[in-house]
């Protein structure tokens, strides 16, 4: 079995992350990780409020800023041409089902939360959609 340099591997995974917890802290209250039981750790996120209403605009912008990274393959956006950036954004946005309560925006949010914790996406499920009109 080959020797694996775990520090290099960890650094490689860290560099692959598309988001950090610091980016979330601008739009959400991020509470420290809590160990609820020996087998359960929880991190709580709460939407920031202003006065008597939620500030969702920042969260929506954060999701839109990372939509390309969720939908497209890394090789498609690795060397982004500024002229194609808008086309890539529209392609990513149009990949989502345009019906209420489809759950896909929740999947994008979960993707960002997991990536911030160092759980890196290996493959985009969006490319697995069977209906080419959806993607």
Report the pLDDT value the prediction gives residue 118, as an integer from 0 to 100: 80
Q: What are the DSSP E strand ranges found in 51-135?
A: 53-54
The CA–CA distances, whole Å, from 117 to 17, 18, 21 equal 9, 11, 8
Report the pLDDT value the prediction gives residue 132, as an integer from 0 to 100: 52
* CA quadruple 121, 100, 55, 66: dihedral, nearest 10: 30
Report the pLDDT value the prediction gives residue 135, as an integer from 0 to 100: 44
Residue 103 in tokens: 């759950």
Report the pLDDT value the prediction gives residue 125, as an integer from 0 to 100: 67
* 3-state secondary structure at position 78: coil
**Domain locations along the chain:** 6-128
Full pLDDT tens readout for the chain, 135 residues: 568 888 888 777 777 777 888 888 888 888 888 999 999 999 888 888 777 776 778 888 888 888 877 777 777 777 777 667 777 777 777 777 777 777 788 888 888 888 888 887 776 666 666 445 554
């Amino acid at each position: 079995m080959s020797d694996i340099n775990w520090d290099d591997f960890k650094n490689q995974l860290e560099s692959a992350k598309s988001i950090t917890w610091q980016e979330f802290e601008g739009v959400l209250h991020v509470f420290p990780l809590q160990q609820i039981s020996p087998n359960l750790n929880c991190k709580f996120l709460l939407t920031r409020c202003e006065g008597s209403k939620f500030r969702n605009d920042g969260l929506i912008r954060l999701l839109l800023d990372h939509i390309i990274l969720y939908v497209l393959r890394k090789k498609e956006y690795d060397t982004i041409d500024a002229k194609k950036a808008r086309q890539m954004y529209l392609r990513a946005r149009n990949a989502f089902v345009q019906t209420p309560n489809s759950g896909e925006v929740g999947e994008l949010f979960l993707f960002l939360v997991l990536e911030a914790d160092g759980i890196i996406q290996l493959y985009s499920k969006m490319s697995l959609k069977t209906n080419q009109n959806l993607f």
